[in-house]
Structure 1
Amino acid sequence: MTKSTEYSESGSPIHRYGERQHEWRPPEYGEEKWVEKIEEHVTRYIGEIDSVYHEIISDVVHIDVFFIKPTPERNYYTLITTGMSFMPMNTPEGAEGCEYAELMICLPPDWPIQEDLENPDHYWPIRWLKMLARFPHDYDTWLGWGHTMPNGDPAEPLSQQTGMSGIILLPPIEVDEDFITLDMGDGRTVSFYAILPLYSEELDFKLKHGSDPLLDKFDEHGVNEILDLKRRNTCEDG
Structure 2
Amino acid sequence: MSCEVTTSSTPSMYGNADRNLLMAHVQKHFGAISGIGQAQLPSGGALDILALTPPSRKHIGRLFSAQTSPSAGEETILLTIGAGARPMSVPKDSELPPRAEYLIRLPADWNVQSGEERDAWPVRLLMNIASLPETTQSYNAWGHTFSFSQGLPFADNTGLCAAMLTGMNDREGQCRLNDGEAVTFYEVIPLYAEELTLVAEQSPVALIDEFIRYNLPRVVTPDRPNVAVMAKRRAELVKNFQAMEDSKRHELTRHMDALSPEERIALKESLAADGGLTRQASNLVRQAMSFFKGRK
> Fold conserved (TM > 0.5)?
yes
In 1: Cα distance, 2:216 partner to 2:159 partner: 16
Q: Are the equivalent residues in 2 in contact too, given 1:183–1:190 (CA < 8 A)?
A: yes
The 2-side partners of 1:46 and 1:140 are apart by 29
Distance 1:177 1:92 in 2: 21
Cα distance change on mapping 1:139 and 1:214 into 2, 3 Å: same
Q: 1:13 is matched with which residue?
A: none
> Which of 180, 184, 199 is the aligned partner of 2:177?
184
Q: Deviations over 1:127-159 (max 9, x none)?
A: 111121111011100011000011333x11111
Aligned match of 2:164: 168
The equivalences for 1:73-92 within 5 A come to: 73-92=72-91
1:71-110 matches, cutoff 5 A: 71=55, 73-93=72-92, 95-110=94-109
> Which of residues 51, 68, 72 in structure 1 aligns to 2:52?
68
Which structure 2 segments of 5+ residues have no match? 1-11, 56-70, 233-296
* 1:89 CA drift (Å): 0.2
**One-letter identity of the residue aligned with 1:136:** P
1:118 equivalenced with 2:115 (yes/no): yes
Distance 1:91 1:177 in 2: 19
CA distance in structure 2 between the partners assigned to 1:62 and 1:179 by the alignment: 24
Structure 1 unmatched ranges of 5 or more? 1-27
Give distance in 2, aligned partners of 1:177 and 1:230. Answer: 31
TM-score w.r.t. the length of structure 1 is 0.79
1:34 aligns with 2:18: yes
Counterpart amino acid of residue 200 in structure 1: A
Alpha carbons 1:97, 1:189 under 8 Å: kept:
no
State, as a whole percentage, how many aligned pairs show the same letter.
25
Greater relative contact order, per chain length (Cα 8 Å cut-off, separation 6+): 1
> In structure 2, what is the Cα distance between the partners aligned to 1:70 and 1:189?
23
1:228 paired to 2:212: no
Higher alpha-carbon deviation: 220-229 or 203-212: 220-229
Distance 2:34 2:46 in 1: 20
Pairwise CA distance, 1:224: 4.4
State TM-score, norm by structure 2.
0.65
Distance apart, 1:94 and its partner CA: 5.8
Paired with 1:36 and 1:70, the residues of 2 have a C-alpha distance of 19
**Alignment correspondent of 2:35:** 51
Q: Which has the higher helix share?
A: 2
Letter paired with 1:214: L
